[in-house]
Structure formats: structure tokens, C-alpha cells
Structure 1
Amino acid sequence: MVTIVVAMGFKNEIGAGNQLLWHLPKDLKHFKEITSGHPIIMGRKTFESIGKPLPNRTNIVISRRNDWFQEGILIVGSIKEALKFAKKIDENVFIIGGGDIYKQTLDATDVLEVTRVNAELKADVFFPGIDPKIWLKTSETCIGKDEKHAYDFCFERWERKVKL
């Protein structure tokens, strides 16, 4: 099963200047809970914004740069190659960004784990969107803003209802 994990605002904004738009500790905890022990696939820019391999996960980074290397990660040249390696490791594979990687993997994805942030912020990277003809929201848990969370947000799970 291939799952996309993404946090986005109301206009599908996900990042600006190679950084996330918000800091939500409960979202980070949720991300860790669902991805730990499984392979994660990301683009090079997403990896660089994180700055290090995420522990207890096989970190697979897609990069077209032949001169780029980082300790503790597997570097591949394509999404096809990344999915091939990941599926050899575990049947549950997580795509964690960025925007181009989401666009290129959406058709191969079975589940969307979305953190919908109650915000509209300036962004330069966006999620391609969720088509309700293809996706069915199967759960939603909302959390109000507090001293550690500047925005209300909801954890949404979307499951593919139409195979492409």
C-alpha cells in the first residue's frame, strides 16, 4: 500500500522557501507514529529541508543529481526506482513530499493521510488537490489551536475509491 502523508492549508499550500508553513507538534507526532518502521520516499529538496535521515525508517531520496550523496539514505534516480526498492522492504510505503513528488505519485497512491490546517498562508509549493470522484474521506479527527499549536487542524484519511 502506498500512502501520501501531507500537511496543507485550505488552498492546498504545503510549503514556502523549502520549509513547512507551520509547526504543529501533534502533527509531527502523528507523522512519526504512522511512518515509523516503514520506508519513506521524498525528493532531495524535502530531505534537505529536514536536514538528516529520519530515524526508524528507510529514507529513500529521489534525486537527478549524480554528484549528491548523504550518509544514511538510499538515493535513487526515479519514482519508479524508489517504489521498487521500498516495496522490497515493506508493503507499506509512505510518500512524504515535496510537491513534484506528490504530483508524480498521486496516481499510484492508495491512501492519503492529510493534516488539513485551518490557515491560508503564502506558499510556493502546493498539493495537487483531492478529487472527491476518486477519493473518499474515511475518517477525520480535529484538534483546536492552543499554546503549542497556532492553528486548528484535522487529521483526514482519504482512501482511493476509483482505481486508475
Structure 2
Amino acid sequence: MTPGGKRVVLVAAVARNGVIGDGPDIPWRIPGEQQRFKELTWGHVLLMGRTTYESIGRPLPGRTTVVLTRDPVWRAEGVFVAHDLDEALALADGLAGDVMVAGGAQVYAAALPVADEQVLSEVHLEPAGDVHYPRFDREAWVEASREPAEGYDVVRWVRRTA
């Protein structure tokens, strides 16, 4: 959760081998998977790293974008900029919607310890790639739902409470 109590949800498409990207590219095209991402994140804060943002090239409509970057002078029109995760989460507290973390790998890894949920499209492929979703302790999470789709399953993981 954020300091103000908003949910933090990691949203990713992850291949069987943990790959989420090959450089700035997604190594698959699965009909409907990106539409699910849009529906899930619509109306929320989209938190992403600078490289992920630059690979998209613009703020996505219907969402407020917060870009996480170590570069103190980096700016882009139509987005908020934060320089560490705490700053990003504090900034998100003043914006509408929950925090939907959209990558890349470093941002997922940084946000995983404070995440309340993960919504993972588990892609039924093992492509080559150099960007991986962080490993997580499955004992710390409960699989709350699994929805099969063509070429992937949408799995919602909720953090186990003590």
C-alpha cells in the first residue's frame, strides 16, 4: 500500500521462463492481452520506469502516468516524474485510482515488497529475452483467481496476510 492507503498492483505479462521483454520490445503479440491491460489499468495511476515509458512513447489515455527515473533532469509532457519509489507512491496518493505498476523489471522488483496484488498474464511461451519479472516467494501470496485465455492465463495473486 501507499502511505495514504492506496492499493499497489503489479501488472505484467510473463512468459513461462520469466521473460517480460527483449530490450524495449515485448517478444510476443497475443490478441486481447493488451486490451485486458487497458481495462485493468483504466482510471488508475500507471507507474513505470523511464525506459518502459520511452518504449511506449506517450502517456496512455485514461490513466495518469508517473515515470520513475534516476535522471534528475528528465521530463516528458503529460506525465509526473519521481526519482525513487517512495516519492512515486507519495505522489500517487494525491491522484485518482490505485497504483498499477507497469514495469520494467527494476520497477517491479522495487515495488514487489509493498505490493498488495499482482495481476499476471502467464504467457504460454518461452521466448528469448533479456528482461525478466522478479522471482517472488509464492508462499507469501495467495492465487485468488485464474482465468484461462487464448495463449495465456490471467492470474491474480493477493499478498497473504499474517
Q: 1:42 maps to what in 2?
A: 48
Identity of aligned residues (%): 34
Q: Distance in 1 between matches of 2:116 and 2:93?
A: 14
After TM superposition, the runs of 4+ consecutive aligned structure 1 residues lying more than 6 A away are none
Structure 2: any 5+ residue segments left out of the alignment?
1-6
Q: 2:37 maps to what in 1?
A: 31
CA shift, 1:135, in A, is 0.8
Specify the SS of the correspondent of 2:135: coil
CA shift, 1:4, in A, is 0.3
Q: Aligned pair 1:101/2:107, yes or no?
A: yes
TM-score (norm. length: structure 2): 0.92
Q: Deviations over 1:101-159 (max 9, x none)?
A: 00111010000000000010111111112322101111111122xxxxxxx11111000
* Matched pairs, number: 156
Q: Distance in 2 between matches of 1:76 and 1:92?
A: 17
Q: 2:10 maps to what in 1?
A: 4
Q: Distance in 2 between matches of 1:107 and 1:157?
A: 16
Q: Distance in 1 between matches of 2:136 and 2:161?
A: 12
Q: Aligned pair 1:156/2:155, yes or no?
A: yes
Q: Aligned pair 1:52/2:69, yes or no?
A: no
The Cα RMSD (Å) is 1.2
CA shift, 1:15, in A, is 0.4
TM-score (norm. length: structure 1): 0.91
Equivalent residue for 1:134, pick from 119, 131, 140: 140
Q: Distance in 1 between matches of 2:36 and 2:20?
A: 17
Q: Distance in 2 between matches of 1:132 and 1:162?
A: 13
